[in-house]
Amino acid sequence: MLKKLFQSFRSPLRRTQHIRSTPEVLNSGQHSLQKAQFSRYAVNIVERLQNAGYQAYLVGGCVRDMLLNITPKDFDVATSATPEQIRAEFRNARIIGRRFKLVHIHFGREIIEVATFRANHPQNDEDEDSNQSSRNESGRILRDNVYGTLEEDAQRRDFTINALYYDPVSERILDYANGVHDIRNRLIRLIGDPKQRYQEDPVRMLRAVRFAAKLDFGIEKHSALPIRELAPMLREIPSARLFEEVLKLFLSGNAADTFEMLVDLQLFDPLFPASAEALEHNPTYTHTLISEALINTDLRIKQNKPVTPAFLFAALLWPALPARVLRLQDRGMPPIPAMQEAAHELIAEQCQRIAIPKRFTMPIREIWDMQERLPRRSGKRADLLLENPRFRAGYDFLLLRESAGEQTDGLGEWWTDYQDANDSERREMIRELSGKDDGTSGPRKRRRSSGAKRKRAGVPSASDE
């Protein structure tokens, strides 16, 4: 269990304290926020809406992050104006969404998201207008366009730390859910009944993990308790939406901690079922490889280096691949076709859960395919591989596999030296392979005695793992 999860078992406040009709008001002398810290475009929107007679506030993550001295990635506005009224005020506004109707106001490359105050859904089906709100049989909200008051909007937000409203005109913070208290105590706490809130939108379980990892907060006891039971509900979420959520989880600079929490709370299984099975059957190798990949991803993000989702998904799914490849080989399929067929099957299954776009699935398959080709270095093969546009990603992936404990007979070191060598040195390295097994012969060409296991360079057997 992570320290973050154990932090959550502090004695929580009574949940009734988080449902209130009047906010705690923090004046400018009671908090550190200043109008100039926020996006001038977002402030301008708030001021224009207020001048037009509407209520409007900066809300949610930007207020939370500013209180924590974190630079927000975006600035959101909440208002009493409807989307149509907002669009009437701003020529550069565009209404988006059906499940949750919003307005995007464009200022060059910066987009400010403006949401109308929402209210809780009617409890009785008879009172529910399907054009505004609807739920499925498990309680998941399918449409959420029930507009309400500021007080109702605060109550229906997900976490207390996101129910903070900042008025840049008066420089006051309105706190309806003791969010400032939870920020000071570094706790992620759901507003309302946790089980019901997760049933309304199971993605809130992933958001709880993401915020805990990003902010180094604990998840409050009652908010954490239903997660393991309700984790399978993530299978009901559209695969396209889960792709976006997974990118947020693993490309925010805290992927390694996020992975540990997902596994601990049993949220990894509904996202990556094949990899979760590999984690159960081969825990040391699978955990090490995925963790190493995510640690490297976090480091690259901190260094402002590019990160490709293709490499990330290739690492997350790889532990489930070797056993499938070996099964196909045992049926008589040659190594490279076996790799290609197993990769196709695994990615197709994964896309049922998380809709990975083709622009990423193709590079994933090429990175994996390179793992079968890298051991084949004789003749001109090594030079042709160096010219392959996927060589670098394939080489990096080979090093990742080795760091997880796979035995490749020094293949990674050989390729490291080959890249640094001059032409004559490269020719000598190739000649030295002629008397050795360079991955093009050996285990694949030997006749197997009855019951012998086939081992291939580039794909670990059970013993390698």
Q: Which residues are known to be catalytic?
A: 74, 76, 158
> Cα dihedral angle (262, 268, 269, 270), rounded to 10 degrees?
110
Q: Quote the tokens at residue 81.
A: 């104006």
For 416, the enclosing helix (H) or strand (E) is helix 411-420
- Please list the alpha-helical segments (H only) found in 251-334: 255-264, 268-271, 273-281, 283-302, 309-317, 321-330
Cα 311–chain centre separation: 14
Cα 79–chain centre separation: 29
Q: How far apart are CA 202 and CA 224, in angstroms?
A: 13
Distances (CA, A) of 145 to 44, 57, 103, 265, 300: 25, 19, 13, 31, 39
Determine the 3-state secondary structure of 458 from DSSP. coil
Q: Quote the tokens at residue 27.
A: 């004046």
Tell me which residue has tokens 């308790």: 225
Q: How far apart are CA 362 and CA 310, in angstroms?
A: 8
* Contact assessment for residue 85 and residue 54, using Cβ atoms and an 8 Å cutoff: yes
Q: How far apart are CA 63 and CA 161, in angstroms?
A: 9
Per-residue DSSP letters for 420-456?
HS-HHHHHHHHHHHTTS--SSSSTTTSPPPTTPPP-B
CA neighbor of 157 nearest in space, from 195, 119, 206, 130 = 119
Provide the 10 A C-beta neighbour count for residue 91: 8
Q: How far apart are CA 391 and CA 407, in angstroms?
A: 20
Q: How far apart are CA 275 and CA 353, in angstroms?
A: 12
Q: How far apart are CA 349 and CA 240, in angstroms?
A: 14
Strand 110-116 relative to strand 76-79: parallel, antiparallel, unpaired? parallel
- In this structure, which amino acid lies at residue 437? D
DSSP 14: P
Q: Quote the tokens at residue 295.
A: 């640690």
Cα 365–chain centre separation: 21
Q: How far apart are CA 427 and CA 433, in angstroms?
A: 10
